[in-house]
Amino acid sequence: MIPIHELLNRIRWDSDFGKAEFTISYYDRNSGENLRVPFAELSFSEEDHFGFTLVDKEGAVHHIPYHRVREVFRDGERIWHRKT
């Protein structure tokens, strides 16, 4: 299985592969649930090699480490999941 950071980089940089609609599911520590967000809402920093940032509906900024990503969906089909 491909490491999550490599898959996310492929979505970002492979123009043919990245044309699809991607959604990620990550574990939210506050709610204790897995939340799904569109990939387009994520921000990646070149200095941060351990996670990404997203802004929620209230405008709060959250840093999500890669180890909390649980699933990745491409056009609604699960293409990656973290083994438990």
* Cα separation, 33 vs 19, whole angstroms: 28
* Bridge partner list, 28: 33
Q: What is the pLDDT of residues 3-18, one digit of tens each?
A: 999 999 999 999 999 9
5 touches 65 (CB < 8 A):
no
What pLDDT is stored for residue 84 in this prediction? 72
* Cα separation, 3 vs 75, whole angstroms: 20
pTM attached to this predicted model: 0.91
Percent of residues in the chain assigned helix, strand, coil, to nearest 5? 25, 45, 35
